[in-house]
Amino acid sequence: MTPLLEVRDLRISFPRDGTTPLVPVDDVSFEVHRGELVALVGESGCGKSLTGLAIPRLLPDNASLGSSTRITMDGTELVTLSESAMRPWRGRRIAMVFQDPMASLNPVMRVGAQIGEAITAHQSVPAPEVRRRAIALLAEVGIADPAERVDAYPHQLSGGMRQRVMIAMALAGEPSLLIADEPTTALDVTVQAQILELLDRLRRERGLAVLLITHDLGIVAGRADRVLVMYGGRIVEAAETTPLFAAPAHPYTRGLFASIPRLTGDGGRLVPIAGTVPPPDQWPEGCRFHPRCPVAIAQCAAERPPLAPVGDHHLAACWVAAGRTP
């Protein structure tokens, strides 16, 4: 079955005065199928948010895509579309939910109006019908008293409710793909679970594909169908969730798992990953993780490892994990 979304050779660069451009995302390729929940996991600075923004072409004006970059959705190539040709896709086929629901909602506009915008931006719908749909969406995302809440201002709602509103706004256009960039990071732990539950339910009920961008491996377990691990602007491991959690192949992924505190187990020391993430203009040659890698070999510094199979539907970009040299 053809994938809903295909990203090939995504490369994002920013020009800099007097020196080489900054390339925070380099050669990222993946697919998302209808109804799938794909998690894009990585620390801050690895380029995952930029990857998410690239799909609906919401990158800053000074960003350039690589010449071989292709972003294809339902057969249409998005990279070559003009801005006015792109706008009908946003909200309508591709929707985004952002990290900070307070800052992502216009403080002087009622939430109902903001949801309504997502509808009227793409269809000509009479006002009473827009309002009815907005109330229905609020109910669908689990907000109590939707008929009253629809006239509320963002500051009158709690953090969890605001994020639900954001999801309602995202659903208003009936998209096929929802990109959620750290949707729960700004929320309390209990609310986090509720929001993720909501996303899951909507996915099942509407057949929505979800690209979940997060740094938190914990929320990925039991929800994502597939996981993509990013480091240094590249994908270093890609697998279905269960095999990844059972046997992470890439040393970085292993390091991530090892540094998660566990309630069970022998309560040993947390094992952090040595070193820190270098800034995007100081990525090392070869495998970008090699200076911090506990099992690095000479090969790793010299040549960049490609994504290679290390198991069933399980890819990793690591010379050691793939057990081979070129």
Partner 1 sequence: MTGWLLRRSVDALLTTVLATVAVIALVHLLPGDPLTAIVGDRAIDPVQRAALEQTWGTNRPPLDAIGVTLSHLLRGDLGISFATQRPVATMIAERIGPTLLLGGLTLLLTFAIGLSLGLWSALHPTTLRARLIGTATLIGYALPTFVIGMLLVWGLAVRSPLLPSGGFADPLLSPDAGGAAVLLDRLQHLALPLLTMVLATVAVPLRQQRAAALGTAAQPWVLAARARGVPQARLAWHHVWRPALTPIVTLVGLWLPMLVAGAVFVEALFSWPGLGSLLATGTTQRDVPVVIGAGLLLVAMVQVGSLIADVLYHLVDPAQRPR
Q: Which of residues 79-98 bind partner 1 (CB under 8 A)?
A: 87-92, 95-96, 98
In the bound complex, what is the minimum distance in angstroms from residue 109's beta carbon to partner 1?
6
Q: Is residue 221 at the binding interface for partner 1, with CB under 8 A as the rule?
A: no
The residues in 169-198 that bind partner 1, with binding defined as CB under 8 A, are: 169-170, 172-173
Under the criterion CB under 8 A, does residue 103 sit at the interface with partner 1?
yes
Taking the C-alpha atoms of residue 308 and residue 295, their distance in angstroms, rounded to an integer, is 18
Residue 199 sits in the site that holds partner 1 (CB under 8 A): no
What residue spans of 1-62 are helical by DSSP H? 48-54
Backbone phi, psi, residue 240, to 5°: -70, 155
Q: Are 309 and 237 in contact (CB under 8 A)?
A: no
Contact flag: residue 147 with partner 1 (CB under 8 A): no
Q: Cβ(236)–Cβ(252) under 8 Å?
A: yes
Question: 294: Cβ–Cβ under 8 A, 6 or more apart, which residues?
Answer: 251, 255, 274
| Binding segment (CB under 8 A) for partner 1, from list 102-110, 275-283, 287-295, 305-313 | 102-110
Q: How far is the CB of 190 from partner 1 (least distance, A)?
A: 24
> Contact, 70 vs 79, CB < 8 A?
yes
Report the alpha-carbon distance of residue 96 to residue 163 in Å, rounded. 12
Residue 24, SS3 per DSSP: strand
- Helix (H) or strand (E) holding 25, with range, is strand 19-32
Count of residues that bind partner 1 according to CB under 8 A: 32
CA distance 234 to 66: 14
100 contributes a contact to partner 1 by CB under 8 A: yes
Q: How far is the CB of 48 from partner 1 (least distance, A)?
A: 16
Q: How far apart are CA 71 and CA 156, in angstroms?
A: 39
Among residues 81, 121, 139, 191, the one that binds partner 1 under rule CB under 8 A:
121
- 56 near partner 1, rule: CB under 8 A: yes
Nearer to partner 1, 5 or 166 (CB): 166
Q: Is residue 117 involved in binding partner 1 (CB under 8 A)?
A: yes
The reply on whether position 140 binds partner 1 by CB under 8 A is: no
What is the binding site for partner 1 (CB under 8 A)?
A: 56, 58, 87-92, 95-96, 98, 100, 103-109, 114, 117-118, 121-122, 153, 155-156, 166, 169-170, 172-173
